[in-house]
Amino acid sequence: MTDPLDAITPLDGRYAATTAPFRRHTSEAALMRARARIEVEYLIALADLEVIPFEVDDEARDTLHSWIEDFDDSDATKIKQIEVEGTEEHPATNHDVKAVEYWLRDRLTAAGLETAIPFAHFGLTSEDVNNLAYRLLLRRAIVEELIPALEELINHLTVEAKDHRHVSMLGRTHGQPASPTTYGKELAVFVQRLTRGQDRLAQRVDGLQGKFGGATGTFAAHAIAEPDVDWPAFAETFVQSLGFRYGPLTTQVNPNDDIAAVFDALANIATILVDFDRDMWRYISDEYLIQEQAAGEVGSSTMPHKVNPIDFENSEGNLLKARSDLRFLADTLPISRLQRDLSDSTIHRSMGGALAHWYLGVTKALAGTESVAPNPAVMDADLERSPAVLAEAVQTALRRIGDPDAYERLKSATRGQTVDPGAFDSLIEEIEAVDPVLGERLAELEPATYIGLAAILVDELEPT
């Protein structure tokens, strides 16, 4: 690997340790391995057709599968050499998928499976291999890295929401003091949004669709070479064996609408988390949250007192970058001129960066959340300074006893004015004269206790 200090992007530099898992999912070597898997599995599937004149016994199958299981840097280097420099056996292909085919032919020769060589990449176009390989990598990266990271964040927020469901704080709408809420309930809102986003993502991943129909999606070469095989049925079985749905009607290109849907789902989750990061940043700024101070950490190069909300800021930045890249991928990949153009090739290769930035954003949001705790003293002080927020409760109670001008009366008494704690006493007495129980509830009400059913709503949350 390049020295992190020489890296072109922070993903392989500053954040290399965190993003390291994505090398096995979206690196060039990972793509080569995925392509090799498609070629090997296809060769075995062909051998199972009675009309194809070669056989692969159990021992040979184990050998073929071992080439994928044991695929390492030497195999990737060999494929790259065939593509770029050439070897004694093969001139430079300047074609990545053809280089994989030649690598497979060499392995077949060395294993004494020469009868299978003519059927390596039989009837296929590069996109038959690539579309499945990219989906294998994308699915694995999401299932093994992204979803677990998101689940960890959701589960942590769920615990925090329940633990702090009674911690009252001033609500703010349009930036102005509003009806109180609780810190736990506000976290629970994000838990619900993220859980829905995760469900959408899982559905989109389950909907990934593969094609396997040859140069322009017609099985033309297959049908000429062996017309007795039901090639569409064969392709459907093969694609489904890899865990994907089958797309029977395509050009040379699998349209990528399914991948776009996955990227849209990821971008939506990124948007939710940007909203979360900005709220948490504001709570820290208002001192509603206390940050844990890491020993030796510097908040400012000149202001020693500072403890900055760097995890939430870092999360926001990475998620904005990820969302931008994901939207670009979703908008671009489904477009291909006529039956095929190559504009998507380099774009496909950039998906690893989008996924890694998304992952960084989620992990930094978790780190930020783990390092903060509510500051009830400041929250309570803000509530005590805001008796006007009880105006909603009083005007609604007046409506309950039949006052048609309740809203207007409270608006006149409170809007743009300084409201003291006893401002509503006469109105509450008026309510108590009609409904003593309701009046008593209002008389006992304080901003800190005016939280409705917030705690009960949080209790409905379940961890993923």
Whether 27 is catalytic: no
Q: Which of 74, 174, 305, 426 is catalytic?
A: 174
Specify the residue for token string 């705790």: 373
Q: Which of 241, 300, 343, 345 is catalytic?
A: 300
Phi, psi of 97 (to 5 degrees): -75, -40
> Judging by DSSP bridges, how do beta strands 176-182 and 209-210 pair with one another?
unpaired
Distance CA 201, CA 264 (A): 9
Whether 350 is catalytic: no
Which residues are designated catalytic? 174, 300
